[in-house]
A and B are shown apart, each in its own frame.
Chain A
Amino acid sequence: MTAGTLALRGRRAVALSPRTTWLALGAMSVALYLVFRDQWILPHERDTAVFQAFNAARDNIDEVKRTVPPVSLVLDAIRGTTDWLYTTILGILVGLGWPAVIALSTFLGYAAGGWRTGLLALSGLGVLGALDLWDPSMKTLAVTLAAVLVSVAIGVPLGILVAKSNRARAVITPILDVLQIMPQYAYFIPFVVLFGIGAASAVIVTFVYSMPAAIRITALGIRGVPAASVEAAESLGSTAGQVLRKVELPLARKTIGLAVNQTIMLALSMVVITVVIDGPGLGENIIKAIQVLNVGAIFDAGLAIVIMAIILDRVTEQASLRLDSRSGAGRAGAARRRLPRRLVLGGLALASLGAIGLSAIAPTWAGTVPEEFASLTFREPVNDLVDWIQANLYFLTIGLKDAVTAGVISPIEKVLRSSPFWLVIAIGGAMAAMLSGLRAAVITVVALAGIVGLQLWDHSMVTLASVLVATAITLGIGALIGILAASSDAVSRAVRPFLDAAQTLPAFVYLLPALVLFSPSRFTAIVAAVIFAVPPVVRLVETGIRLVPETLIEAGRASGATRLQLLRKIQLPVARPALLLATNQGIIMVLGMVVLGGLVGGGALGFDVVSGFAQRRDFGLGLAAGISMVLLGIALDRISQGAGRRRLEDLGERAAKVQVHATP
């Protein structure tokens, strides 16, 4: 629909005096609201023509799958291949056995990043075994690796294509936009219809979810290759293929390495959730623990996921840095890795071979982690803590929930729901025009009108209210921590592991604690969303402020500014683009949690999607709600992206995040 237009560049924001325009917009909105309040509202209906049409479409697909052999043949072939890939990888991991997997990972970790990374792999995998979570961890790893293989195999060439061809970019970028705004849960509905349930579907969903990162970041890397290098090669008569192979790919190596790194991290965050379509692995442990309300068991499984994420992240990150140094950028410290390094490498290689031999000789022993060793668990202390909190802090937390709900959430929701729908659309469009340009305004209006067309306006307004509150809280907390971290290395270092953990833990890990503390409510859903969305905001704010040129700050200091003045007058204004990006990312992340919020009392669109997944007759409602969420996301994204971010977006939206991530 808007596919062609999305990718094009917008124009500059309307050039009126901003303050006057904002005031006029505000006054007009209030006046119109007061006059037309409670008119042109669109109450929610349980069953509509749109939902029925979606239901019918689904039945048609089922029918086609059953009666048209070529379709089912193709789908089965995709399924079969994917399943084979997963089974093979898992077979190798299981066949290697735990001693060999640990030894090989340590070897790879050391080879990629030195003793620290090696030790991290060794101890991390050891803890996985000790937690008695080895088997599910290997399954999770197998799905991740299978999905990442496909993502990279398809995503990197597509990324090159996007970098090279404007036409390809015009087609692919809007698709990526939509894929990125789509909440994780919304992926499942169409894929279950096409591929059914099981490991194969889990791999396919994970692959689709993680591929956009591979495409975007690869494109970013290729485009980042200095034009001079390319021209030099061309002037020497190289063909396009030669330029790509000899110049662009080698120079973009580090970025492509980061593309793989980000693809893995995204894949891992999806794999755990695929348990709802019978995806194998640690997700099963978490779902089981949620059923019996065992927060301690959730903690164990969550810890395993975080450990796996950290190992994969560090190893691939270090490996891509190493690729860069090999390509000639040259890093200090080459002298350090000489003799001892070779010795250690050799030793680790021998150990790995030994462990593999062991698996060949004693497969049963290497197949299961010994029981005496697999006895680490945090169940009791965590459950005791939860019980204590449940018994003693309940009134405090319920009070907080009631206060925020009555004071903020409900009033905002009431205003949104009682506004004429055209007024909300018009205000959205006007804000987009002022902040991000005319093109963004058009897209915003079309997206919001689309929600009206899907007949989910009322629920979308309820969800919007929660999203706005959650975003405000996220930005408040994120900016505070980000500023603190930017002004002190100690804070920055102290915060990083928590950010890593919060970012890698699958969101449903903290649903249960949130429920225990706040009982099912919209506020509970908001709390879960805030935890999920704060880390990237902190990272972006911190980097934004840290990147303010030292000379500016020196100048400020020289003129006698206090620290607070420096922050207010120099650092924050200069970091404005990064702060805008942080706002934008915060909104998108919050929106991604809406569906999960539906599981803890968030209601509205989130619950609709969950229902669509749970009840056959609600499929149409769920699909419409999923699309509405994407449309709401597009509108909020366009409103908040700001005129200054265009250039950044051309390069790839997540790129900024990646660079933040890679900043030590």
Chain B
Amino acid sequence: MTQFRLGRLSAALAVVALVFAGCAQQGTAGPTTGPSEAGATPLPGTGKTVNIAINPWVGYEANAAVVAYILEEKLGYTVVKKNLAEQVSWEGFPTGEVDVILENWGHDDLKAKYIDTDKTAQSAGELGVTGIIGWYVPAWMKEEYPDIDDWQNLNKYADLFKTSESGDKGQLLDGDPSYVTNDVALVKNLELNFEVVVGGSEAALITSFQQATTQKTPLLAYFYDPQWAWAQPPLVDEPLVRIKLPEYTAGCDADPEAVACDYPPYILDKIVSTTFATEGGAAYELIKNFKWTNLDQSTVSELIANQGMTAEDAGKKWVDEHEAIWQAWMP
């Protein structure tokens, strides 16, 4: 008997809850307070919503923090941030899931498919930030072995870099598979007695360099700049040293199998979906004009990575303090 009533009571309560929830939801469904970011994906650019892909590194988030803050607070848009890997972000262009990629590192294969063939995406100009990719060792190694930062001397030191993963050869540690890398070809073509070991993630690279710096253990690894870890201890006090590879000349990396030269400086750019470019209005204009420097970006990255600020707060702080810069981007 009790249980029977219990069942009824639960049912009644559930119904009441649903009704009230409906009411409450209607009450809150205003333009700013509703569960907007949870809402269904609107058509790109037609509404007042901008879908920004957030690729998984802090520098990228810094770009998005500032752009999103201006879009929301200064231009009245709703911004939906989507945490996605680079490749997956591009896949969002044709479906309208993604309107904008703010920091694109090369990716000629994706450009060929989405921009040239499918015409679902297009470039929105340079970001202003230059990306550097290279091989690095911890600072103490340069002090101990002054000539280690030239690739021609790497074989001499190969034994130092041996690990459980690289066998008889020295280890060259690589990171996330989505990154641009020629390392396997480089090792082969420069006849280095090294083995490329795949760390598998950005976290693997950063922890390894931090450990190598504090514990004074040898490490040779792929790394890049801008990267927030440069601004945090221990790397901020003992910055990594870049290995000189044979100089980059235009076209020397054309054949991925035959590469024997350094990575080029990457002129990072912004990519938008074609629909957004035509229908994005003021938001598109802002994003097209958005251009800042490595230093600007690191300032915001530092706030997020080291001072524990949320992206929103960091974006607001930078925008409040740098009106002159962002006013120039306004449509």
- Tell whether A pairs with B: yes
For B58, give its contact among A291, A345, A618 (CB under 8 Å).
A291
Q: In the bound complex, do residue B56 and residue A610 qualify as a contact, i.e. CB atoms below 8 Å apart?
A: no
- CB neighbours (8 Å) of B211 from chain A are 390, 394, 516, 519
Q: Chain A, 389-419, contact with B by CB distance < 8 Å: what is the 0/1 string?
A: 0110011000001100110001000000000
Q: In the bound complex, do residue A100 and residue B17 qualify as a contact, i.e. CB atoms below 8 Å apart?
A: yes
The verdict on A511 contacting B203 (CB below 8 Å), with A91-B38, A97-B24, A615-B178 known, is yes
- CB neighbours (8 Å) of B94 from chain A are 66
Residue A357 is within 8 A (CB to CB) of chain B in the complex: yes
Q: Chain B, 191-222, contact with A by CB distance < 8 Å: what is the 0/1 string?
A: 00000011111111011101100110000000
Residue B95 is within 8 A (CB to CB) of chain A in the complex: yes
Task: Kindly specify which of A218-226, A474-482, A537-545, A593-601 makes contact with the partner chain.
Answer: A593-601
Q: In the bound complex, do residue B177 and residue A91 qualify as a contact, i.e. CB atoms below 8 Å apart?
A: no
The verdict on A598 contacting B176 (CB below 8 Å), with A278-B84, A519-B207, A520-B208 known, is no
Give residues 95-110 of B contacting A (CB, 8 Å).
95, 97-98, 109-110
Q: In the bound complex, do residue B6 and residue A292 qualify as a contact, i.e. CB atoms below 8 Å apart?
A: no
For B92, give its contact among A97, A196, A614 (CB under 8 Å).
A196
For A278, give its contact among B17, B22, B82, B206 (CB under 8 Å).
B82
Q: In the bound complex, do residue B35 and residue A91 qualify as a contact, i.e. CB atoms below 8 Å apart?
A: yes
Residue A119 is within 8 A (CB to CB) of chain B in the complex: no
Task: Kindly specify which of B25-33, B68-76, B291-299, B317-325 makes contact with the partner chain.
Answer: B25-33
Residue from A84, A614, A617 having most chain B Cβ neighbours under 10 A: A614
Q: How far is the CA of A322 from the CA of B243 in the complex (A)?
A: 68
Q: Which residue of A lies closest to B207 (CB)?
A: A515
Give residues 4-31 of B contacting A (CB, 8 Å).
6, 9-10, 13, 16-18, 20-25, 27-28
B: interface residue count bin: 35 or more
- CB neighbours (8 Å) of A197 from chain B are 82, 84, 88, 91-92, 95, 97-98
Residue A487 is within 8 A (CB to CB) of chain B in the complex: no
Q: In the bound complex, do residue A94 and residue B25 qualify as a contact, i.e. CB atoms below 8 Å apart?
A: yes
The 6 closest A-B pairs by CB, nearest first: A614-B178, A95-B25, A405-B164, A611-B177, A520-B199, A95-B21
Q: How far is the CA of A197 from the CA of B53 in the complex (A)?
A: 11
Q: In the bound complex, do residue A356 and residue B21 qualify as a contact, i.e. CB atoms below 8 Å apart?
A: yes
- CB neighbours (8 Å) of B6 from chain A are 111, 345
- CB neighbours (8 Å) of B109 from chain A are 615-617
Residue B272 is within 8 A (CB to CB) of chain A in the complex: no
- Which residues from chain A sit less than 8 Å from chain B, CB to CB? 66, 83-84, 87, 90-92, 94-97, 100, 104, 107-108, 111, 139, 142, 192, 196-199, 275-278, 280, 284, 287-288, 290-293, 322, 326, 337-338, 341-342, 345, 349, 352-353, 356-357, 359-360, 363-364, 366-367, 390-391, 394-395, 401-402, 405-406, 410, 511-512, 515-516, 519-523, 598-603, 606-607, 610-611, 613-618
Q: In the bound complex, do residue B41 and residue A198 qualify as a contact, i.e. CB atoms below 8 Å apart?
A: yes
Residue B39 is within 8 A (CB to CB) of chain A in the complex: yes
Residue from B33, B57, B164, B208 having most chain A Cβ neighbours under 10 A: B164
- CB neighbours (8 Å) of A511 from chain B are 201, 203
The verdict on A352 contacting B17 (CB below 8 Å), with A90-B35, A278-B82, A520-B204 known, is yes
Least CB distance, B31 to chain A, in whole angstroms: 14
Residue from A84, A352, A402, A602 having most chain B Cβ neighbours under 10 A: A352
Least CB distance, A189 to chain B, in whole angstroms: 11
Q: Which residue of A lies closest to B180 (CB)?
A: A615
Q: In the bound complex, do residue B35 and residue A94 qualify as a contact, i.e. CB atoms below 8 Å apart?
A: yes
- CB neighbours (8 Å) of B40 from chain A are 83-84, 87
Q: In the bound complex, do residue B58 and residue A610 qualify as a contact, i.e. CB atoms below 8 Å apart?
A: no
For A600, give its contact among B27, B82, B167, B200 (CB under 8 Å).
B200
Q: Which residue of A lies closest to B88 (CB)?
A: A197
Q: How far is the CA of A275 from the CA of B88 in the complex (A)?
A: 12
Q: Which residue of B lies closest to A368 (CB)?
A: B33
- CB neighbours (8 Å) of A342 from chain B are 2
Q: How far is the CA of A613 from the CA of B176 in the complex (A)?
A: 11
Least CB distance, A300 to chain B, in whole angstroms: 12
For A363, give its contact among B27, B164, B214 (CB under 8 Å).
B27
The verdict on A607 contacting B13 (CB below 8 Å), with A197-B82, A278-B84, A600-B204 known, is no
Residue B228 is within 8 A (CB to CB) of chain A in the complex: yes
Q: In the bound complex, do residue B22 and residue A616 qualify as a contact, i.e. CB atoms below 8 Å apart?
A: no
- CB neighbours (8 Å) of A84 from chain B are 40
For B20, give its contact among A91, A360, A394, A602 (CB under 8 Å).
A360
Residue B150 is within 8 A (CB to CB) of chain A in the complex: no
The verdict on A95 contacting B28 (CB below 8 Å), with A345-B9, A356-B20 known, is yes
Q: How far is the CA of A611 from the CA of B84 in the complex (A)?
A: 14
Q: Which residue of B lies closest to A405 (CB)?
A: B164
Q: How far is the CA of A284 from the CA of B54 in the complex (A)?
A: 11
Give residues 301-320 of B contacting A (CB, 8 Å).
304-305
- CB neighbours (8 Å) of B56 from chain A are 287, 291
Least CB distance, A390 to chain B, in whole angstroms: 7
Least CB distance, A405 to chain B, in whole angstroms: 4
- CB neighbours (8 Å) of A360 from chain B are 20, 23-24, 27
The verdict on A349 contacting B17 (CB below 8 Å), with A196-B91, A599-B201, A618-B177 known, is no
A-B contact pairs, 14 of them (CB 8 A): A94-B35, A96-B17, A104-B13, A197-B97, A198-B82, A293-B203, A338-B2, A349-B13, A511-B203, A516-B211, A519-B208, A520-B204, A600-B204, A614-B86
Q: Which residue of B lies closest to A341 (CB)?
A: B2
Q: How far is the CA of A84 from the CA of B41 in the complex (A)?
A: 10
Give residues 148-167 of B contacting A (CB, 8 Å).
163-165, 167
For B200, give its contact among A92, A292, A610 (CB under 8 Å).
A610
For B165, give its contact among A111, A198, A359, A601 (CB under 8 Å).
A601
Q: Which residue of B lies closest to A363 (CB)?
A: B28
Q: In the bound complex, do residue A610 and residue B13 qualify as a contact, i.e. CB atoms below 8 Å apart?
A: no
The verdict on A599 contacting B200 (CB below 8 Å), with A291-B57, A615-B87 known, is yes
The verdict on A520 contacting B38 (CB below 8 Å), with A364-B28, A614-B86 known, is no
Residue B3 is within 8 A (CB to CB) of chain A in the complex: yes
Residue B83 is within 8 A (CB to CB) of chain A in the complex: yes
Q: In the bound complex, do residue B207 and residue A601 qualify as a contact, i.e. CB atoms below 8 Å apart?
A: no
- CB neighbours (8 Å) of A66 from chain B are 94, 118
Q: In the bound complex, do residue B91 and residue A192 qualify as a contact, i.e. CB atoms below 8 Å apart?
A: yes
Least CB distance, A295 to chain B, in whole angstroms: 10
Q: How far is the CA of A611 from the CA of B304 in the complex (A)?
A: 28
Least CB distance, B15 to chain A, in whole angstroms: 11
17 more A-B residue pairs beyond the given contacts A197-B98, A603-B200, with a C-beta to C-beta distance below 8 A: A90-B38, A91-B35, A197-B91, A275-B83, A342-B2, A345-B9, A360-B20, A363-B33, A512-B207, A520-B197, A523-B164, A600-B204, A601-B197, A607-B198, A610-B177, A614-B176, A614-B178
Q: In the bound complex, do residue A522 and residue B23 qualify as a contact, i.e. CB atoms below 8 Å apart?
A: no
- CB neighbours (8 Å) of B57 from chain A are 291
Residue B85 is within 8 A (CB to CB) of chain A in the complex: yes
Q: How far is the CA of A613 from the CA of B178 in the complex (A)?
A: 8
- CB neighbours (8 Å) of A96 from chain B are 17, 20-21, 24
- CB neighbours (8 Å) of A291 from chain B are 56-58, 202-203
The verdict on A87 contacting B200 (CB below 8 Å), with A291-B57, A292-B305, A601-B165 known, is no
Least CB distance, A82 to chain B, in whole angstroms: 11
Least CB distance, A279 to chain B, in whole angstroms: 9
Q: How far is the CA of A87 from the CA of B118 in the complex (A)?
A: 31
Q: In the bound complex, do residue B203 and residue A192 qualify as a contact, i.e. CB atoms below 8 Å apart?
A: no
Q: Which residue of B lies closest to A95 (CB)?
A: B25
Least CB distance, A495 to chain B, in whole angstroms: 30
Q: How far is the CA of A107 from the CA of B16 in the complex (A)?
A: 14
Q: How far is the CA of A394 from the CA of B213 in the complex (A)?
A: 13
Residue from B24, B38, B177, B204 having most chain A Cβ neighbours under 10 A: B24
- CB neighbours (8 Å) of B177 from chain A are 607, 610-611, 614-615, 618
Least CB distance, A338 to chain B, in whole angstroms: 7
Q: Which residue of A lies closest to B86 (CB)?
A: A614
- CB neighbours (8 Å) of B201 from chain A are 290, 511, 599-600
Q: Which residue of A lies closest to B38 (CB)?
A: A90
Least CB distance, B163 to chain A, in whole angstroms: 7
Residue B186 is within 8 A (CB to CB) of chain A in the complex: no
